[in-house]
Chains A and B, each alone.
Chain A
Amino acid sequence: EAQVTQNPRYLITVTGKKLTVTCSQNMNHEYMSWYRQDPGLGLRQIYYSMNVEVTDKGDVPEGYKVSRKEKRNFPLILESPSPNQTSLYFCASRLFVGGRGTGELFFGEGSRLTVL
């Protein structure tokens, strides 16, 4: 089954304690991205990656890091989490066809993070 898998789905942590949210896709997509979703603000892009070892900042990258060492994995790292990073996080992947990205972003089920 084609899917994007995120872990953990739920996490409560404390300020300053480093954490990693993993993301893996089994569709061989070149493009992967992280979003955060907050009430009234919709989905905002944190970081994205167009291929292995290629990453770039999205709209709200502050406080986050990513890496893309393998095509299937795209972990999101919070080096020193703060309460304003309490949010619902989504990883997504996208197919690249005919020289253009397609519209269909495949999303994971989400990771709800609470930073105390």
Chain B
Amino acid sequence: GESVGLHLPTLSVQEGDNSIINCAYSNSASDYFIWYKQESGKGPQFIIDIRSNMDKRQGQRVTVLLNKTVKHLSLQIAATQPGDSAVYFCAENILTTDSWGKLQFGAGTQVVVTP
């Protein structure tokens, strides 16, 4: 079946460098995509989302890129800080008949920021 997946289970990044977390999706019916951050012992927190009619969206220190041609989503974190250490999930919103859509999550990528 169609699924959301992540290329790298663990990403080690030096403090101050930029991080790039990748995600592949295969469901053409998805209308938007979301990135969540989950710190140890906490619930996932919304970071940023992007609609399928956009290629790029920027937030504070984060940028999400969407390449619909190859069905690829990425999250870029600028100047990675120790507080960015967490598990990052991508999720796609698959359109459903009830209009709510169904959020399907990837397995997550552990980002470890080293000094």
A and B: interacting chains: yes
CB-contacts of A61-99 with B (<8 A)? 90, 92, 94, 96, 99
Q: Say yes or no: A40 contacts B107, CB within 8 Å.
A: yes
Closest residue of B by beta carbon distance from A9? B41
Q: Say yes or no: A42 contacts B42, CB within 8 Å.
A: no
Knowing A103-B34, A109-B43 are in contact, say whether A50-B105 is a contact too (CB < 8 A): no
What residues of chain A lie closer than 8 Å to B100, measured between beta carbons?
31, 50, 94, 96, 100-101
Q: Say yes or no: B46 contacts A105, CB within 8 Å.
A: yes
Closest chain-B Cβ to A18's Cβ sits at a distance in Å of 25
Supplied contacts A43-B89, A50-B98, A50-B100, 18 more A-B pairs, CB within 8 Å = A41-B107, A42-B105, A42-B107, A43-B105, A44-B105, A45-B103, A101-B99, A103-B32, A103-B46, A103-B103, A104-B34, A104-B49, A105-B34, A105-B46, A106-B46, A109-B41, A109-B43, A110-B43
B residues at A contact (CB < 8 Å): 32, 34, 36, 41-46, 49, 89, 91, 93, 98-103, 105-108
A residues at B contact (CB < 8 Å): 4, 31, 40-45, 50, 90, 92, 94, 96, 99-101, 103-110
